Amino acid sequence: MRRMISTTLRTAASVGTAFVGATLALTSPALGAHAQAAEAQAGHPAGSAWTANSDGRLLVDNGRDMDQVAAGSTKTLLAGEAFQRKYGAYSKDGRKIVYSDQGRTGFGAQVWIMNADGSGRRQLTKLDTEAFGPELSPNGALIAYQSQGAVWVMKADGTGARKVSRDGFYYGTGISWAPDSTRFAVTRGQLDERSGEPFNIEVVTVKADGTRETALTRNGGDKNSPAWSPDGRTIVFSHATAGGNYDLWTMKADGTSSRQITRTPSVGEQDTVWAPTGTSIAYAAWAQATESEPRVMKAKADGTAAKSLNAVGYPTSWS
């Protein structure tokens, strides 16, 4: 069972597991074919996604329900069947949540929006295909999402959808908007003609109107989960070297000055989120040999002083 939980940041003495004072829980569901491909590109042992808004509440997707935890209590925002992913993301003002819902079948996910208390649910897409990983732009005007390995952008009311990614590549679900809402970072992989699986996965930026796409990394190995810093100057991402181990790297927003910030030969690290101050990061770490459940870690922005926060899951936002 996996649920999406929203929780308010508070002291570590609060109810539940401490995540810089927050409670979270995350496990991994069975996925449809396109979701599996997206997760394979992301490098997840199984995968998940949740985000936080500006006032400190967190959403956690447990593959079944979407719950909100605040002031020591839990509220289910969306009840669902087992193995259903929600991919929830708050608007910057915290009033809305955009998410994807697979319905009772677990297939054919569409993008929905609702109020932060779970009311006013409205379907935004009605596609013949699936739509995953919706992310609201910081200015609240646009939603980017992944469908059939491509990235689409639409207005926040669900109109004007257009494909903004290039043909012939596979794009992941880990979309991270730049603070100015003009572009977003995402991973892009070439497709193997035989298996259909992505390879040579790199971090790129895509303009919101689709007029320009810029590769930020070109050094081989698989990348995933790029995350833009609050000041817009830095992008942190996970990079699997030739040995297959995922470590965290940072680079400037133009792709220069890349630097490895974690070195853990037997532990994979990904799904990094920035503290609102930009001074710390949190990320998921797991034993790659056994594909154990990921532990949530916290470190300084340069990767030093890492410590476990005694929580399980894949963080994707922090506020």
Q: How confident is the model over 76-112, as pLDDT tens digits?
A: 566 655 445 567 777 878 788 888 887 665 568 899 9
Inside any domain, residue 69: no
Higher-confidence residue: 206 or 32? 206
What is the pTM (predicted TM-score) of this model?
A: 0.78
Per-residue model confidence (pLDDT) at position 79: 60
Per-residue model confidence (pLDDT) at position 16: 26
Residue 215 belongs to what domain range?
90-312
Contact 99, 89 (CB under 8 A): yes
Neighbouring C-beta atoms of residue 222, cutoff 10 Å: 21
Task: Return the CA Rg of the chain.
Answer: 18
**b (16+ CB within 10 A) / e for 40-50:** bbbbbbbbbbb
Rounded Cα distance between 41 and 223, Å, is: 8
Residue 259 has pLDDT above 90, yes or no: yes
Residue 313 has pLDDT above 50, yes or no: yes
Inside any domain, residue 318: no
Report the side by side order of strands in the sheet with 150-155: 132-136, 142-147, 150-155, 162-163
Inside any domain, residue 20: no
Give which of 48, 56, 66 is closest to 10, Cα–Cα: 56
The contacts of residue 10 (CB under 8 Å, 6+ apart) are: 21, 22, 56, 71
Judged by average pLDDT, the poorest of 8-17, 79-88, 135-144, 299-308 is 8-17
283 strand-pairing partners? 297
Per-residue model confidence (pLDDT) at position 183: 98
Q: Per DSSP, which regions of 79-168 are E strands? A: 89-90, 96-101, 110-115, 122-123, 132-136, 142-147, 150-155, 162-163
Phi/psi for 35 (5° steps) reads -65, -40
Inside any domain, residue 140: yes
Domain count, the chain: 1
Rounded Cα distance between 113 and 121, Å, is: 6
Residue with tokens 């995402």: 186
Inside any domain, residue 112: yes
Rounded Cα distance between 235 and 239, Å, is: 12
Residue 152 has pLDDT above 90, yes or no: yes
Higher-confidence residue: 183 or 309? 183
Per-residue model confidence (pLDDT) at position 84: 53
Inside any domain, residue 177: yes
Rounded Cα distance between 93 and 88, Å, is: 15
Alpha helices in the chain (DSSP H): 33-42
Residue 149 has pLDDT above 50, yes or no: yes
Q: Residue 101: which CATH number?
A: 2.120.10.30
Average pLDDT over residues 15-41: 32
Residue 253 has pLDDT above 90, yes or no: yes
Phi/psi for 42 (5° steps) reads -70, -20
Inside any domain, residue 83: no
Average pLDDT over residues 45-71: 44
Contacts 24+ apart (CB under 8 A), 190-198: 191/149, 196/37, 197/37, 197/40, 198/37, 198/40, 198/41, 198/149, 198/169, 198/170
Judged by average pLDDT, the poorest of 92-96, 235-239, 248-252, 308-312 is 308-312
Helix (H) or strand (E) holding 127: none
Inside any domain, residue 54: no
Average pLDDT over residues 309-313: 68
Query: 183-233: per-residue pLDDT in tens?
Result: 999 999 998 888 888 888 999 999 999 999 999 998 878 899 999 998 999
- Burial class of residue 290 in the structure, from the number of CB atoms within 10 Å of its CB (0-12 exposed, 13-18 middle, 19+ buried): exposed
